[in-house]
Chains A and B, each alone.
Chain A
């Protein structure tokens, strides 16, 4: 994958790569992502999954997310939204949207970032001191939107 700033990687190229990566299960197995709808030609809507890190209040839980990669992805950051209810800094409590200004990599997005990195970063934030002990809603609840 091209990481130099001179070469602009076509959006779909990137997204297809990410799709492939998601299906191959690259990484440590704590996040997973894939197309929400396999027939989605635009590769816009993705679902992601984060496995709550151990020794936090998120432990043993599986968080489902929706990631939307707009037309200008990867130049612009995707929008991310939690489907599973979660209590975490930067996540809107009522609808699960991830505030792009509060999550560092979304705020300072670079085109070398990817959905995987977003998911992993969110997972890492779950382990931060400020988040790890937040009381969580009961398991299995989802946002209504």
Chain B
């Protein structure tokens, strides 16, 4: 079916042979048909936004046949394919010739993917620390004995294949992650390599501290080309780190300087930042190694700190990213509301999205836990509590909080037993169990906010709560994996309390119960400590202001104020963030 199109016989149109061949025959490719005479096999270029392939197909083939071939070549399912030619979608019932598809022409292809589960396979790169941490989680399923090697391998692959990078960037999961500067910052910080980097280049730490800049960087990072550039820069910087002058203390100091804004970002989740006095104001330079920090921790549940203006930007992002109802949705099958996840000190927005991701992909957790080296590591840790404590101490999140460290050390034996307990393993891998844990957590949090007087007071030392163990575990896992103690695969955080007692041994059960009680006490004590006033009374003026502004939902206002510790601006952002946009 040739097309005749000669609108103006007198006009000579260069470059396009008008003659009898119809317009859709650029440059007269009739002679380029391979082997056979006209009509049989034509070579059509199929182009996606990412790559293109040349496909040989019969000229009189149907679109369906064409799609078959394409699905083979692009490794996608036929019903995911959408073909576009000359501005029209090719329907399965059509034929190629109907649309005038001839040899040498290009057809556009869109592969529809709602959610790309192969993300996990992509994120095996430690080229940027942000990736590295999530990648560690994902990559654990591979069960590689040498994790570092795996990372390096993927890094090499990634560098050599920019396509993969753009594929990674396209993935909505990654995009969600990347669009949350707080999460990125947190992940970046947790990576010891990054810490070293930050030590070398203070500008980076400034960059990380500035949420605005973070967001800009994230925008940059979304552009794969910039990303590559960044990666290269980082590689160069990392290679400079060879000559690090052993300033571990300096490193810790540096890190503590960063902790403050980092935890201020997480501040909206709990009343105040217990580390703010550590990192921020006083000892920017004078802090000795973290284990020697004798300064008493401020009362985290004391009068709320004044809001840190530079963090309100971060909180905004945090609050918008932590919206999400409790209703299970497609992307959140366990109905986990990240906004209510956690009163633990690691319940920053970053943590929450991490948790959400994990809950969305229970397989991840499963993979994580079933990796063979995981077991061996657990057993080695159990045998060697010293090692475990060392590992934990190395985690910079604990830097500067000796009390917490003490707690952990005390809990270690119990914890290790716990981890050995296959029951706790199964709890962690069982999404419903995790959900139950979350629900308990939420319940406790609600209790805490609604009736703080209910729980007995307890000297606030560190706020770690029921599912904190899990959070800590998840959080520690990647950072520790990527470099806790060299050579030793690292252990997790605090014990995950198994609320459904399934004792495998009486000793374990008792330990569990003790732990449970302790945790509850600490948690509850944390909630009630510091002030006998109910939040309502404390925030009366703020509530009035919010009311005047038009936020009439008193309950929500109260929650928001509690979460932000009385900071009106942050509370407003929280409230706004929880509205569907």
- Decide whether A and B are members of one complex: yes
**Could you list which residues of chain A lie within 8 angstroms of chain B, going by C-beta atoms?**
10, 12-13, 16-17, 19-20, 22-26, 28-30, 32-36, 38-39, 41-43, 46-49, 51, 54-55, 59-60, 62, 64-65, 133, 135
**Chain B residues within 8 Å of A65, by CB:** 87
Instruction: Check A16–B108 contact: CB distance below 8 A.
Output: no
B1-9, B31-39, B264-272: which lies at the interface:
B1-9
A80 to B207, CA, bound (A): 44
CB within 8 Å of A: which of B1-45? Answer: 3, 5, 7-8, 11, 13, 15-16, 23-24, 26, 45
> Do A20 and B86 touch (CB < 8 A)?
no
Cβ A49 vs Cβ B87 within 8 A: yes
Stretch at the interface among B47-55, B472-480, B565-573: B47-55
Name the residue in A39, A55, A59 with the highest tally of chain B Cβ atoms < 10 Å from its Cβ. Answer: A55
Determine if B89 and A23 form an interchain contact, defined as CB atoms under 8 angstroms apart. Answer: no
Q: Which residue from chain A places its CB closest to the CB of B109 in the assembled complex? A: A29
Task: Give Cα A133–Cα B175 distance, bound, in whole angstroms.
Answer: 14
Q: Find residues 66-107 in chain B having any chain A CB closer than 8 Å to their own CB.
A: 82, 84-89, 100, 104-107
The chain A residue with its CB closest to the CB of B5 is A41
Q: How large is the interface on B (under 10, 10 to 19, 20 to 34, 35 or more residues)?
A: 35 or more
CB distance from A100 to the nearest CB of B (A): 20
Q: Would you give 14 A-B contacts (Cβ < 8 Å), ordered by A?
A: A12-B7, A16-B5, A19-B86, A22-B86, A22-B87, A23-B85, A24-B26, A25-B45, A25-B47, A25-B105, A32-B87, A36-B87, A49-B84, A60-B110
Write the nearest CB–CB distance from A119 to chain B, whole angstroms. Answer: 8
The reply on B170 being an interface residue by CB < 8 A is yes
CA distance A34 to B45 in the complex (A): 17
CB distance from A70 to the nearest CB of B (A): 15
Q: Which residue of B has the minimal Cβ distance to A67?
A: B87
**Cβ-defined partner of B49 (8 Å) among A12, A28, A34, A41:** A28
Query: Would B23 and A16 count as touching, CB distance under 8 A?
Result: yes
Which residue of the partner chain, among A35, A41, A135, contacts B86 with CB atoms under 8 Å? A35
B306 at the interface (CB under 8 A from A): no
A54 touches B170 (CB 8 A): yes
Report B174-194 residues with CB < 8 Å from chain A CB: 175, 179
Asked whether any CB of chain A lies closer than 8 Å to the CB of B222, the reply is yes
Smallest Cβ distance from B26 to chain A, in angstroms? 5
State whether A13 and B84 are in contact (beta carbons under 8 Å apart), knowing that A24-B106, A60-B112, A62-B110 are contacts in the complex: no
CB-CB nearest in chain B for A30: B49
Beyond A24-B105, A32-B84, A33-B86: 15 further Cβ-contacts under 8 Å? A16-B16, A16-B23, A19-B23, A20-B16, A23-B105, A23-B106, A25-B47, A25-B105, A25-B108, A32-B85, A32-B108, A34-B85, A38-B24, A39-B3, A64-B87
Chain A residue contacts of B100, Cβ below 8 A: 23, 38
User: Could you tell me if B26 and A23 are in contact, using CB atoms closer than 8 angstroms?
Assistant: yes
> Does B504 count as interface, using CB distance less than 8 angstroms?
no
- Taking the complex as formed, is B243 at the interface, i.e. its CB lies under 8 A from any CB of chain A? no
Give every chain B residue within 8 A of A36 (Cβ-Cβ).
87
Chain B residue contacts of A30, Cβ below 8 A: 49
List, in ascending order, chain B residues with CB within 8 A of A43's CB: 7
Which chain A residues lie closer than 8 Å to B26 at the CB level? 20, 23-24
Q: In whole Å, how far is A73's beta carbon from the nearest beta carbon of chain B?
A: 13
| Cβ–Cβ contact A42 & B86, under 8 A | no
Q: Using Cβ atoms and an 8 Å threshold, which residues of chain A touch B23?
A: 16, 19-20
The residue in chain B whose Cβ has the minimal distance to the Cβ of A20 is B26
Task: Assess whether B161 is interfacial by the CB under 8 Å rule.
Answer: no
List the B side residues contacting A39 at CB < 8 Å.
3
Measured CB to CB, the nearest residue on chain A to B111 is: A60
**Contact status of A25 and B107, CB under 8 A, knowing A32-B87, A33-B86, A34-B88:** yes
- By the criterion CB–CB under 8 Å, are A16 and B49 in contact? no
Whether the Cβ atoms of A49 and B89 lie closer than 8 Å is yes
B581 in the interface (beta carbon within 8 A) = yes
B31 CB to nearest chain A CB (Å): 17
B74 CB → nearest A CB, Å:
13
Complex-state Cα separation, A55 to B106, whole angstroms: 26
Which of B11, B110, B113 is A10 in contact with, Cβ under 8 Å? Answer: B11
Q: Which of A13, A25, A33, A34 contacts B11 (CB 8 A)?
A: A13
In the bound complex, CA of A117 to CA of B252 (Å): 54
Residue in A20, A39, A47, A48 whose Cβ sees the most chain B Cβ within 10 Å: A20
Bound form: Cα–Cα A32–B83 in Å: 11
Instruction: Give the chain A neighbours of B11 by CB distance below 8 A.
Output: 10, 12-13
Among A30, A35, A65, find the residue whose CB has the most chain B CB atoms closer than 10 A.
Answer: A35
Are A16 and B84 in touch, CB under 8 angstroms? Answer: no
Q: Which residues of A contact B175 (CB under 8 A)?
A: 54-55
Which chain A residues lie closer than 8 Å to B179 at the CB level? Answer: 55
Other-chain contact of A55, B87, B113, B222 (Cβ < 8 Å): B222
Nearest CB in chain B to that of A38: its residue: B3
Across-interface contacts of A47 in B (CB, < 8 A): 86-88
Closest-by-CB residue of B relative to A135 is B581
Is the CB–CB distance between A49 and B106 below 8 Å? no
Q: Which of chain B's residues have a CB closer than 8 A to the CB of A33?
A: 86-87
Q: Chain B residue with minimal CB distance to A48?
A: B87
Contact present for A34 and B47 (CB under 8 Å): no
| Residues of B close to A29: CB separation below 8 A | 47-49, 52, 106, 108
The 5 closest A-B pairs by CB, nearest first: A34-B86, A25-B106, A47-B87, A33-B87, A34-B87
Residues of B within 8 A of A133 (CB): 581
Residues of A within 8 Å of B84, CB to CB, are 32, 49, 51, 62
A35 nearest CB across to chain B (Å): 7
Q: Which residues of A contact B85 (CB under 8 A)?
A: 23, 32, 34
| B-chain residues with CB within 8 Å of residue A135 when the two chains form the complex | 581
Most buried by B among A16, A25, A35: A25
Residue on A with the closest CB to B112?
A60
For B100, the closest partner residue in chain A by CB is A38
In the assembly, what is the distance between CA of A135 and CA of B580, in Å?
10
Contact between B24 and A19 (Cβ–Cβ < 8 Å)? yes
Q: List A contacts of B16 (CB < 8 A).
A: 16-17, 20
What CA separation (Å) do A32 and B49 show in the bound complex?
Answer: 12
Closest to A119 in B: B87
Which one of B16, B84, B172, B581 has the highest number of Cβ atoms from chain A below 10 Å of its Cβ?
Answer: B84
